[in-house]
Chain A
Amino acid sequence: MKLTLVTGLTGLVLLATIVELLRRRQLREKYGMLWLGLLFVVIPLSLFPRLLDGVADLLGVASGVSLVLFLGIVFLLLVCIHLSWEVSALEEETRTLAEEFALLRAEVEADRMERAEWARHPDRTEMVSRDG
């Protein structure tokens, strides 16, 4: 009974955390939904740990609790891979932005210098070419 209390409370605290993060718009919906979906599986299991014993028996796993542990690790690994993938995509995006930004800054600075040159020698505009 004590154990059920601990696991059940943990599940509920996690659920509250996710809902609160979503409510404050700190978490993108796609991740929020992922974790919420998971909690709807985990909370019943934490209250009734024997729920999966039948499935475990079918798969040749000694107890439902072991099966949950195994599935949990697989799930976390998948989430980690997904996050690495997301970070890679983000890095590619920030790289492109940085390059774009540097190009624009170079253009702006060249333009500014050209104007300064023109302000100093308005009569020599023809000579100040890009290939100068």
Chain B
Amino acid sequence: MVNGKRLLIIIPALNEAASIGDVVGEIRGELPGVDVLVVDDGSTDHTAAVAAAAGARVARLPYNLGVGGAMRLGYRYAHDHDYDLAVQVDADGQHDPRYVPKLVDLLDDYDLVIGARFAGEGEYTVRGPRRWAMGMLSVVLSGLAGATLTDTTSGFRAANRRMIDMFARWYPVEYLGDTVETLVHAARRGYRIQQVPVAMRRRMAGTPSHSPAKAMIYLGRALAVLTLALIRR
């Protein structure tokens, strides 16, 4: 319970046994009375067992679907169990649960609130094609949503009941679909979107990729995904 509302934290996880225990433990420590659902997206390690031992509810997918599949399952769970709010958090520990109340506070006036990395807080930086891609996404999506969105690919998001209802029915499983396409879809259907600046932490496990070739491919795919999302019904 947060402000008298039932809140579910959704954590999609794929082979995150190294960090998931600490992530769940920290959330339960920082946010007492909040339910945590870990969606195990077909992990081959002990992610599900570690998460359950840390006190999370666990939904295990029989095979890997991608973030979109895990997220729709999470929102379906939130919808079926009648939660008022849902917050999605990454399993690698880069999202600080102390920001959750800040995100949730805005859900009275907005349907979807994004925890954004570039909005002044913290020192997260990227360069080269990846930066161009994020800049392009930011400009287009800010225009669509009618709000400044600096970090459209952030996986740190809070949704109210209206948004949960939509995501429980519709959540794309394709590449960048979980971030870019959901934003386009929601903005075009009149859902109100806002962002909150957050500081990101170093991942507890795993490393982000920094190869320029990969960044170029990322730019191309981001363009393709965005164009498709814009011309789709």
Residues of chain A whose beta carbon lies under 8 Å from any beta carbon of chain B: 95, 98-99, 101-103, 105-106, 109-110, 130-131
Q: Are B65 and A106 in contact (CB under 8 A)?
A: no
Q: Are A105 and B60 in contact (CB under 8 A)?
A: yes
CA distance A105 to B57 in the complex (A): 11
Q: Mark B30-46, 1 if CB is under 8 A from A, else 0.
A: 00010100010000000
B102 contacts chain A at the CB level, 8 A cutoff: no
Q: Are A106 and B35 in contact (CB under 8 A)?
A: no
DSSP class of B's interface residues: helix, strand, loop or mixed?
A: mixed
A-B contact pairs, 6 of them (CB 8 A): A98-B63, A99-B76, A101-B61, A102-B61, A103-B80, A105-B60
CA distance A95 to B63 in the complex (A): 9
A101 closest partner in B (C-beta): B62
Those 5 A-B pairs whose CB atoms lie nearest each other, nearest first: A106-B59, A99-B73, A102-B59, A102-B61, A98-B62
B77 contacts chain A at the CB level, 8 A cutoff: yes
Q: What A residues does B199 contact at CB under 8 A?
A: none
Q: What A residues does B61 contact at CB under 8 A?
A: 98-99, 101-102
Q: Are B77 and A106 in contact (CB under 8 A)?
A: yes
B117 contacts chain A at the CB level, 8 A cutoff: no
B72 contacts chain A at the CB level, 8 A cutoff: yes
Q: What A residues does B73 contact at CB under 8 A?
A: 99, 102-103
The one of A95, A99, A106 that contacts B57, using a Cβ cutoff of 8 Å: A106
Q: What B residues does A109 contact at CB under 8 A?
A: 58
Q: What B residues does A103 contact at CB under 8 A?
A: 59, 73, 76-77, 80
Decide yes or no: A98 and B76 within 8 Å by CB, A105-B60, A106-B57, A106-B60 being known contacts: no
Q: What B residues does A105 contact at CB under 8 A?
A: 59-60
Most B C-beta atoms less than 10 A away, residue of A98, A102, A105, A110: A102
Decide yes or no: A95 and B59 within 8 Å by CB, A103-B76, A103-B77, A103-B80 being known contacts: no
B197 contacts chain A at the CB level, 8 A cutoff: no
Q: What B residues does A101 contact at CB under 8 A?
A: 61-62
Distance from A10 Cβ to chain B, minimum over Cβ atoms (Å): 40
Q: Are A99 and B80 in contact (CB under 8 A)?
A: no
Distance from A6 Cβ to chain B, minimum over Cβ atoms (Å): 45
Distance from B22 Cβ to chain A, minimum over Cβ atoms (Å): 22
Q: What A residues does B60 contact at CB under 8 A?
A: 102, 105-106
B186 contacts chain A at the CB level, 8 A cutoff: no
CA distance A24 to B62 in the complex (A): 31
B173 contacts chain A at the CB level, 8 A cutoff: yes
Q: What A residues does B81 contact at CB under 8 A?
A: 130
CA distance A106 to B76 in the complex (A): 12
Q: What A residues does B6 contact at CB under 8 A?
A: 131
CA distance A109 to B59 in the complex (A): 9
CA distance A102 to B74 in the complex (A): 10
Q: What A residues does B59 contact at CB under 8 A?
A: 102-103, 105-106
Q: Mark B60-72, 1 if CB is under 8 A from A, else 0.
A: 1111010001001
Most A C-beta atoms less than 10 A away, residue of B6, B59, B173: B59
Tell me the B1-16 residues at the A interface (CB within 8 Å). Answer: 1, 6
A113 closest partner in B (C-beta): B52
Known A98-B61, A103-B73, A106-B60; further 11 A-B contacts with Cβ < 8 A: A99-B61, A99-B72, A99-B76, A101-B61, A102-B62, A103-B77, A106-B58, A106-B77, A110-B57, A131-B6, A131-B33
